[in-house]
Amino acid sequence: MIKTVLKIGSKECLIYADENPSALLIQPIDSRDNEMIAEEIDYISENVTIPFAIVAFPVESWNKDLSPWVADPVFGKEGFGNGASDTLSFIKKELLPQIDFAEDIPIILGGYSLAGLFALWSCYQTNIFSGIAAASPSAWFPGFVDYTKANTPLTKTIYLSLGDKEEKAKNPTMSKVGDCIRELNSILTGQNIETTLIWNEGNHFKDPELRTAKAFTWCLERINNEIKTMKKLILFGDSNTYGYDPRNFLGGRYAEDERWTTIVHNALADRFDVIEEGMNGRQLPLIEYGYFTNLLTDLSAEDIFVMMLGTNDILLTYNPNVELAVTKLDRILSYVKENCKAQFILIAPPYIKVMEPEMQLYHECCVEMNQRFLELAKQYDITTFDASEWNIAMGSDGVHFSIDGHRNFAECFIKSLEKMTAYSLAGLSDH
């Protein structure tokens, strides 16, 4: 796990990250908690198999920056401010845009004591958090339980914990914490939120790092189970699947949100683990090509493998040979029929557009190739989508999709998938 210190705004944030993390943990801390974070990470790493990253950011005024609204002092003379909104805004508008993780990575917000309360309050304000890890949260905070009765959290899972001696505190307000957290647990359960309430040994100050680590671990386990059970949708193709931008002579790439694969990913994220496998210059693979066969054999009957190839088999030669491309596809489909448990979809790619006279031959070969592909797939009883019917707008080179072409391709693909699977994908245009 790699440690980084990154200044975001006025805050020096600690980042610990595994390679290719599948989940992101966010935790507010005070200046004394730096060592606590390292102990948390050790515990989490020993108890989960999912790679993760954690970002810990400092809180200057604990009572002000983590409190959802103004409240009178409960202990000492310092009252509570209403800085939680600003702290949440920092996470959303400054912290998340600055860290380099996948855009759709599941995020768990958590913390200890008042930071746990902040995490709980935050999940009522935004739906960006997949889980909340509230370790010994300040559930006694004036008005908070009543607030939860009148509102609904926007997250999937919530972890609650408390020390078994915390409700025995001499402070009359803080001694209500046991009743408050029991009631909170009951409210969340009644709202069909996946929640748990764990009782730890000791008072509020016993093993805060261990309690917080357990909270994050529980949330990570929920995410890991979800990843394992989610169906895979693999999009395997060439430069049009990669998102090559023909406007850039040196081989650029369209912005992530302009590519058809990302549009599909965002639209189907709650139903599929969409895996983008586009590569510039890719031709129909030989069966001896291990990467392709490994992808196929790792799939289950619930998964879907989509392949759109063939254009480069025609384009990257002075003497395009349709028969050779068909022979390669014949071997692929024969292998698929014998070895692939997943639903296999063959997309016959859009035709090369004639931009110059010398492109006429390549266009004609594409037309013939697509027709032969569709006929061959029918013999093997393989599902096909004919993208030549989708009227995809091409870029200036006549080979690669324009931005509008990517958008149109995504829409047509989703409609075809809906028709094939009978999934109700209504409302995808809102993504």
Domain residue limits, the chain: 2-228, 230-430
Place of tokens 């989508």: 385
More confident residue, 181 or 250: 181
Asked if CATH classification 3.60.20.10 holds for the domain at 230-430, the reply, yes or no, is: no
- pLDDT at 351 > cutoff 80: yes
Report the alpha-carbon distance of residue 104 to residue 346 in Å, rounded: 27
- On the question of a common fold for 2-228 and 230-430, the answer reads yes
**Predicted pLDDT of residue 183:** 97
Q: Under CATH, to which class is 2-228 assigned?
A: alpha beta
Report the alpha-carbon distance of residue 311 to residue 313 in Å, rounded: 5
More confident residue, 287 or 28: 28
Which of 27-31, 52-56, 185-189, 225-229 bottoms out in mean pLDDT, i.e. has the lowest?
Answer: 225-229
More confident residue, 337 or 423: 337
Give the tens place of pLDDT for each residue, 215-274. Answer: 999 999 988 887 666 789 999 999 999 999 998 777 689 999 999 999 999 998 878 889
Confidence of residue 185 (pLDDT cuts 50, 70, 90): very high
Report the alpha-carbon distance of residue 334 to residue 402 in Å, rounded: 34
Task: Categorise residue 409: left if φ over 0, alpha if ψ from -120 to 50, beta otherwise.
Answer: alpha
Does residue 67 contact residue 83 with C-beta atoms inside 8 Å? yes
- When mean pLDDT is compared over 11-20, 182-191, 228-237, 281-290, the highest value belongs to 182-191
Confidence of residue 428 (pLDDT cuts 50, 70, 90): very low
The angle at the Cα of 73, spanning 80 to 188, to the nearest 5 degrees, equals: 60
The angle at the Cα of 383, spanning 377 to 388, to the nearest 5 degrees, equals: 80
More confident residue, 296 or 421: 296
Question: How confident is the model over 350-367, as a mean pLDDT?
Answer: 91
Which of 35-39, 255-259, 276-280 bottoms out in mean pLDDT, i.e. has the lowest?
Answer: 35-39
